[in-house]
Structure 1
Amino acid sequence: MSGTADIVARPFGDEDVDFNDVESSTASISSSVLEYRAIQGRTFHSARHPTDYFTPNDGQQQQSVDLTHHYLTVLLDGKLYLAPIPEDVKNVIDIGTGTGIWAIDFADEHPEAQVIGTDLSPMQPTWIPPNMKFEVDDATVLPWTYTPDSFDFVHVRYLFGAISDWTALFKEAYRVLRPGTGWIQDCEIDVRFRSDDGTTEGVAAMEKWSELFELSGRKTGASFTVVADDLQRRSLEEAGFVDVQVRTFKVPVGGWPLDPKLAEVGRLVHATLENDLEGYTLLLWHNVLNWPAEEYRPFLADLRKALRNRKYHGYYVLRYAFGRKPEA
């Protein structure tokens, strides 16, 4: 395990109370893909799409996606992955690529590789490295359209709340990876607040946030507790992968840690949330759980206040899991 020791908070002062120092077919894109759903001023994936993903696909949420990529890169000391793939990797696919930022960075780092990024919506940039492309596709629609034994690396990140059968997803990755040398890596996070010193216990807004995700996962069947339930490891092994390894991290929320790197990660996590608390919660609150609409805005206000308070030493638990496809 990595990064799971208690995180030491730097000394707290009065100036910290209001902490705020942050800021399908793969062949073509049909018109139906662009028919986004509008919910309370936010746009979500196409109403005709079989997957009802919980976050928006608009510009505000895309900013949070890019901030997420940045804090994960800082967490890994500048690395884009942990799986022991060879430097001369040839064919790579990024499932659920979002804005495509990971795929673009990987393509830049590996100019000899061919990189594909897939997502539900065509929200990626048009200026991309010459060795990559984006495709609109839904990884939950099985089987995948890709040729068996054709990829060297399948990258998956932050699909919590979107997958009802992780073993089925990983079996498709297994099918398209090369025997013996093909690797898969999945990174997921449990967004329920935790603390080593008990400071997040009894904070109503933080507990409401955690309850929102836990109950939504139970209702939809797409778990938000992938990490806590050890679904990554178990599902990779059930899909047939070998040499499965996991690395677990505590990801602070806010710049309260004494450790400079963790403080930077925490500030970026805070910025990610502050940028779009609504985007992470709107659909779940109103459309999945049908909680009282009049309580939603006060909840967001209370949560922002709690996030800015360095008295609360909250963190999330994040886990990387990776495995290799054995020889046939």
Structure 2
Amino acid sequence: MTKAAVEEQTPATVTSNAPANVEIDNSYENDSSYGDELSTYTASLTSSVLEYRHENGRRYHGYRDGSYLLPNDEKENDRLDMLHEFFLQVLHRKLYLAPIKSPQRVIDLATGTGIWAIDFADQHPQAQVIGCDLSPTQPSLVPPNVKFLIDDIESEWAYESDPFDFIHARNLLVSIKDYGKLVKQCYRSVKPGGWVEIQDYDGYPYSEDGSFKGTELQRYYDEVFSAFDDAGYETRPGPKLEQWFKDAGFINIHVEKFVLPYGVWPKDKHLKTLGAWSQYQAEASGFEAFALAALTRFRNWSKEEVAVLAGKARADGRNRKIHMLFDFYVVYGQRPEN
């Protein structure tokens, strides 16, 4: 059976969490502000892994220096752990949506602090869980079924001979240059019948009422994302994931779209909570973390100019009259048995 025939028989299922419009809370109308792999990779660790780049008061990875533009210091790790809680809120305390059953071998791509891999290992003690990342910033005290590796997921993989039951990745926007290739590598490295799930944003925000247009928030995203785009990074992967999964050969593809607010302006209690989390992590350091390396390395901005841009975006983010939204996608698919 050809891939096209398989795709025709298994169209993607698309669902969404959001109503046609996100209702605005007007109660504040007068207030405008608010294993073996481990030993192999351990043996290959060189000084470049631990010799971090220190720049503009932030720390960046040393291994494959420059391929990832966000910091890896404690401030950023705290933000990533906040984001983990945020994504759990989005998915109603679920780590994943794919219909996996008793997975034995699992990998979390670009694991960051390793918190997703640790939580998954606790929930599935029968599984051997690998978390891979450019930076060795994961904790040393972890469940016995977790291993962390230093690896560049955009390099050629070597997992095809020992494939996984489940491959997971989350929040890779502005990190990957050839996202389609990455999805194909996932296909080759998952077992027949196994599942791959990727959760990611359409990184450029919008508003349903036009309140985002002409704001300092819009200027922030225009400036920062144009720098990432020109450097070759994928900034809006979410809506493209379905096609990449199809191109790779996956079947039983499921697409779920979540509309996520920034700030506490929504009337709906759950969306208000999500908006608060989104604003909290961005104000903690997210605006600077996204902008600093991209603008200073590719646009010749000074650290001070970035701070001004981020500060204005932060101030606009507290304006209840600006109703900024993001689209977040969870896409999973299965490799055919045959």
TM-score normalised according to structure 2 size: 0.89
In the alignment, the residues of structure 1 paired with residue 314 and residue 68 of structure 2 have an alpha-carbon distance, to the nearest angstrom, of 24
Partner of 1:211: 222
Q: Which residue of the other structure, out of 121, 133, 155, is the alignment partner of 1:141?
A: 155
CA displacement, residues 261-303 of structure 1 (integer Å, 9 cap, x when unaligned): 1111111111110011211110111112334665322212211
Partner of 1:169: 182
Q: Which amino acid is 1:114 matched to?
A: Q
Q: Contact 1:174/1:240 (CA < 8 Å) preserved in 2?
A: yes
Partner of 2:24: 9
Q: Contact 2:288/2:307 (CA < 8 Å) preserved in 1?
A: no
Q: Which residue of the other structure, out of 280, 293, 299, is the alignment partner of 1:283?
A: 293
Gaps of 5+ in 1: 20-24
Q: Which amino acid is 1:178 matched to?
A: K
Q: Contact 1:192/1:209 (CA < 8 Å) preserved in 2?
A: no
Q: Which amino acid is 2:203 matched to?
A: V
Q: CA deviation at 1:34?
A: 0.8
Q: Contact 2:160/2:190 (CA < 8 Å) preserved in 1?
A: no
Partner of 1:22: none
Partner of 1:265: 274
Equivalent residues, number = 316
For the structure 1 residues 294 and 42, does the alpha-carbon distance in structure 2 shift closer, same or farther, using more than 3 Å as the test?
A: closer
Q: Which residue of the other structure, out of 45, 51, 76, is the alignment partner of 1:35?
A: 51
Is residue 2:91 matched to residue 1:82? no
* SS of residue paired to 1:327: coil
Q: Contact 1:150/1:178 (CA < 8 Å) preserved in 2?
A: yes
Is residue 2:208 matched to residue 1:192? no
Q: Which amino acid is 1:135 matched to?
A: L
Q: Contact 1:151/1:182 (CA < 8 Å) preserved in 2?
A: yes
Structure 1 vs Structure 2: percent identity of aligned residues? 36
Gaps of 5+ in 2: 1-14, 35-39
Report which stretch shifted further, 94-103 or 311-320. Answer: 311-320
Q: CA deviation at 1:31?
A: 2.1
Q: Which amino acid is 1:310 matched to?
A: R
Q: Which amino acid is 2:290 matched to?
A: Y
Is residue 2:115 matched to residue 1:101? yes
* SS of residue paired to 2:61: strand
Structure having the higher helix fraction is 2
In the alignment, the residues of structure 2 paired with residue 137 and residue 16 of structure 1 have an alpha-carbon distance, to the nearest angstrom, of 48
In the alignment, the residues of structure 2 paired with residue 315 and residue 255 of structure 1 have an alpha-carbon distance, to the nearest angstrom, of 11
TM-score normalised according to structure 1 size: 0.91
Q: Which amino acid is 1:211 matched to?
A: D
Q: Contact 1:213/1:224 (CA < 8 Å) preserved in 2?
A: no
Q: Contact 2:291/2:306 (CA < 8 Å) preserved in 1?
A: no
Q: Which amino acid is 1:2 matched to?
A: S
CA displacement, residues 184-236 of structure 1 (integer Å, 9 cap, x when unaligned): 00111123221112211121x11112213431232111110112xx3211111
Is residue 2:118 matched to residue 1:68? no
Partner of 1:252: 261
Taking the TM superposition and a 5 Å limit, the aligned residue runs for 1:228-243 are 230-243=239-252
For the structure 1 residues 294 and 132, does the alpha-carbon distance in structure 2 shift closer, same or farther, using more than 3 Å as the test?
A: closer
In the alignment, the residues of structure 2 paired with residue 31 and residue 134 of structure 1 have an alpha-carbon distance, to the nearest angstrom, of 18
Q: Contact 2:106/2:165 (CA < 8 Å) preserved in 1?
A: yes
Q: CA deviation at 1:4?
A: 3.7
Q: Contact 1:12/1:310 (CA < 8 Å) preserved in 2?
A: no
* SS of residue paired to 1:218: helix
In the alignment, the residues of structure 2 paired with residue 324 and residue 289 of structure 1 have an alpha-carbon distance, to the nearest angstrom, of 41
Q: Contact 1:96/1:139 (CA < 8 Å) preserved in 2?
A: yes
* SS of residue paired to 1:26: helix
Report which stretch shifted further, 295-304 or 257-266. Answer: 295-304
